[in-house]
Structure 1
């Protein structure tokens, strides 16, 4: 299988301006990649990241990944800016969500609208970026797609029903896409985390919850966004050239998949 060094890859990170997305974008930039930072409403954060690394390395592009027409325009802007096709996609974008288990609707309270919102963000968003990326990846004979999941699929200890169900569907999509796209030299994998310390989404989590999770892990600490991003780099690198359709849980050993 053809491989492309990280320093030669053009990487799209959806939701790449803040939190985990920004950590992933920075990880690729530190390896010499050129990065497309997609954002929805976080223009200031995206522009700050682009200014820090300069236009030769980063372009910030606004798009709602739940809208296929906006995603197509996003890929067109990326190709126009860098003069080449996107080789690597990280489906990180998350519809508005706060990780606060005390403030979540229980099974007899939650409404379908919550599920619909999360499915549009996680599943429709990944579908749109994948479909927009595949023609260029086939042209290049190389492609890396990584989706961001959650260890709650294996260990649903918090009633994030809508979020967890959407990520479970995204895992299924990851595996079916890997089988479909493998002959084109395109790998599709998932990296699943637990609660990360700290992102915008986990900022509402009480400190006691972080401490409890840390005590439950073999490493006795909570995974950071930068540590999580390391595994995303692995799936984009030549070291993973024979790996596809996999879900790697990165949470300090808390959950065994």
Structure 2
């Protein structure tokens, strides 16, 4: 009589391995704002280019019903050579307003080429965020949204060392979504506490890797974004 074979399946959870599992929940307010863009009578035909930070914007946009009627392309030219190929030149410094506007212009041209027509919209976002070891310069981002009406721009300097890298990336993604919404004529909702849409709620920050000490909270309160619009 043959011995019966048995099989054992070993399932290792993140907790068993000592690894903290990342949250997969998407922010409800970001999804609602994306949905409001898709529900417009003429939803934007968006091409987005993001580098250095803000890539969390992609799942927020793509996980919302209606994305297929609005999102044409979302690219992350992260490497220096990749960004240079997109822009057609190698910028001496990649995180500034001029680069964001050039990215938005290239994205807009791509949207037009893909058949976006008068609804073509190009988003460019470039950021320098938290790294290990801590970078010397400021943590900042520049965002530009190009449409037939003109160019909406946002510049934001983050409170250095106040957030984890993941939280900084979320702030940049929220700032990009808010700028896109304004360019499309949609007002982003304020946070429950009354702050601008791009600022993370205190509860989210407290759940990040860094404690929300009083002095850190004060620096977060001092953050502000500079927004401009230039008509074409």
Which TM-score applies when normalising by structure 2?
0.40
- The structure with the largest strand share of the pair is 2
Structure with larger RCO (C-alpha < 8 A, sep 6+):
1
Structure with bigger gyration radius: 2
